[in-house]
Structure 1
Amino acid sequence: MRWPAVFIALILLLLIGCKHDVEISDGVVHTFSTESISQGQFSDDGKLLLGVTGTGSVMLWRVDSQQVEFKIPDHKVLKPVKHVVLSKDKSLILVANDNTVGLWSVPAKAMISKVKFSGVSARATITAMALSPHKDRLLVGMADGSLNMADINTRLNNRFKPHSQPIRHLKFDTQGALFLSGGLDGKIGLWQFGSSAALFEQEFAHRVTSLATTRDFSRFFVSDGLSAQHIKQLTSGAEQAKLNYSARFKIFRQSTFVENGALLATSSSKSHLSLWHTETGEELGTWTIQTKNKGASIVAMHADNHGNLFTFNSDAVLERWNLDLIKAL
């Protein structure tokens, strides 16, 4: 029996609606600050949470007890705080203002050193940072599209200009040998640390607003901000899937692979969390996060090994999501 196309479309719409109606939030875990949060990062194991408040305080909290693990003294913070990074082993916090990166020891609760960085243009400011897993290599992206590749041990720095506009995204591989870059020029590139020769490059029509890699650095997700959202293979750049959704435009901000890369979580600028199947690009659902102020958005995400996704938003709200409910669909 051949079903009419209209009937099939109706059934598909009903199925999609069911997925969107599934409630997967386990509620608010904790609100960490009465101030707004401009930046956030979970530690690799999800036990610590790094945040920058609206007044420029740099805070490191324990997720389980909600206690402050370390606060950088306000009078010593490099302001204005443009970027912060927590090392993979949770021992270092990097804080950058317009042109200087400060390295702080979490165990010693003291600054180790300060290093200035510049671009090809003398007025270029810092727009992105990434620290290698072994803490020996640092990437510092600049507003003019130039990139500093600094060896922390030797203090040697190689600089080149892979982008024509500000660099916004930098991602190291598991060994610190390769890295991805993405900029407002719409270009992404895969590079070997210390070399200016691209392993591959691709340019999109609009600025890159989101860039994420799987834990094993075998795949990445890229969004150009309006109509092109792709999951691709590393290190070839071959496409695996393109995200499918009914809206004409969809803004992508934060993104992270979860469930060993089977799912992709993304956030928007409108207090929304979305989940996607990475093999097909199918949208599994979109949900509204819990906020205290209109317009709050997700600043960091982390998935554990027990089917939980945690989101931290600009209202300092930590919320837990049950991914097992999605897998059951």
Structure 2
Amino acid sequence: MISQYQLRKTWIVFLLMLAGCSGAISEPDKSIRHAIEGAYAADISSDNKIAVVSTAQQGILVWDLVAQTEKFKWSHEEEGHVVNTVGIVHIAADSSYVVTADREAFALWNLSTGEPEGFWRIDEASVRDIAVSNNGRGILVGRGNGKAMFFEPTSGRRLEFLGHQEKINSVDISPNGFYALTGGNDYVAYLWDTRSGQVIHRFTHSSRVTKVALDDAGRYAFTADSKRGAKIWDVQTGEEISQLSFIQRQKIFSAATFSEDGKYLATGSPGRALNLWSVTTGNEVQEWRVTPKDGTQPQSAVVYAVSFEQKNQLLSESSSGLAEYWAFEQEN
């Protein structure tokens, strides 16, 4: 008979072996500080030339990733105020405009001039997530009352999508602004047309949908729930392509980006995890651990953004305030 002590010891050894065999890499190829005392939100442009970081102490910083120099500094607050509450940042696919949002308001910024082109307050419900299309033509706002708003700053046209029954957690928009992907606490993600409000596909989950992402090339959609459901869909047919395969009981995603060639999905999580997945199989290709934020116990960091910096390199931005570069080997 095996004693309880021996059984416990065996399990501890087994768990340590699992941890040691996880294959997670925690040393980046290169690391550059973009925020002195950490960040609240960040995004990286599709062409990997710009990063926008909402910082704890320095406002909203726009970084030139080629020269690694600060390009612009923005703020939602009036001149002289230092408190920054911006927790959402999204760069248009063509790197022309940026939207930034706190819980009560959002702003549209021109990346060429660095100037704001509009500031709007939301009275009815809190801003949960936001996205902007090419040329700043359309802004998609997911709200705490379950309503998604598509807004055209130039024309003033506004369309409300009422498909969700509970608060919206995540949104994304196609580069041309014609299609929106929204996910909420009602266990559903919808792909819908911003011109008519008509639902194109309904993606169902077994728990609340916490993250959604669209492929800029119009091939795939990613939707993930609060438990084990993280799926890649064909946006043309609405059929499931794959489900991400991982051993955790649950895995929350804070960032998701498809590679230009359509082979990979890169994701970030609140627990420092940066993962690369095969789109066709859902299998994990590689895992990394971003640098933890200074002073956190236990050590942690939220991965806010990830991009394919080169064909075989990822770039991440996290709450640690660091831009980190990670190499990987292409699959055959």
TM-score under structure 1 length normalisation: 0.84
Quote the residue 1:178 is aligned against. 179
Using the aligned pairs only, state the percent identity: 23
Matched, 1:199 2:203: no
TM-score under structure 2 length normalisation: 0.83
Distance in structure 1 (CA, Å) of the matches to 2:244 and 2:235: 18
Once the two structures are overlaid, the 10-residue window that deviates more, 253-262 or 144-153, is: 253-262
- Closer/same/farther in 2, CA of residues 133 and 108 from structure 1, 3 Å limit: closer
Shift of 1:55: 4.2
Secondary structure of the residue aligned to 1:270 is coil
**RMSD after superposition:** 2.7
Matched, 1:35 2:40: no
C-alpha contact 1:19 1:285 (8 A) present in aligned 2: no
Matched, 1:161 2:162: yes
Shift of 1:189: 0.4
Quote the residue 1:133 is aligned against. 134
- Closer/same/farther in 2, CA of residues 93 and 101 from structure 1, 3 Å limit: same
What is the identity, as a one-letter code, of the residue corresponding to 1:245?
Answer: F
Secondary structure of the residue aligned to 2:51 is strand
Quote the residue 2:147 is aligned against. 146
Distance in structure 1 (CA, Å) of the matches to 2:165 and 2:69: 42
> Mapping of 1:161-310 within 5 angstroms?
161-258=162-259, 260-293=261-294, 294-310=299-315
Distance in structure 2 (CA, Å) of the matches to 1:168 and 1:261: 25
- Closer/same/farther in 2, CA of residues 266 and 110 from structure 1, 3 Å limit: closer
C-alpha contact 2:141 2:150 (8 A) present in aligned 1: yes
Quote the residue 2:319 is aligned against. 314
C-alpha contact 1:82 1:127 (8 A) present in aligned 2: no
Distance in structure 2 (CA, Å) of the matches to 1:172 and 1:202: 16
Distance in structure 2 (CA, Å) of the matches to 1:165 and 1:142: 10
Distance in structure 1 (CA, Å) of the matches to 2:223 and 2:128: 18
Deviations along 1:168-191, whole A, 9 cap, x unmatched?
A: 222222322112111232210011
Where structure 2 has 5 or more consecutive residues not aligned to the other structure, the ranges are 1-17
Shift of 1:112: 2.5
What is the identity, as a one-letter code, of the residue corresponding to 2:285?
Answer: L
C-alpha contact 2:173 2:214 (8 A) present in aligned 1: no
Where structure 1 has 5 or more consecutive residues not aligned to the other structure, the ranges are 1-15
Distance in structure 1 (CA, Å) of the matches to 2:141 and 2:293: 34
Matched, 1:98 2:103: yes
Quote the residue 1:47 is aligned against. 49
Residue of structure 1 aligned with 2:68, choices 66, 78, 82:
66
Distance in structure 1 (CA, Å) of the matches to 2:265 and 2:96: 28
Q: How many residues align?
A: 308
Secondary structure of the residue aligned to 1:235 is coil
Secondary structure of the residue aligned to 2:134 is coil
C-alpha contact 1:302 1:311 (8 A) present in aligned 2: yes
C-alpha contact 1:28 1:317 (8 A) present in aligned 2: no
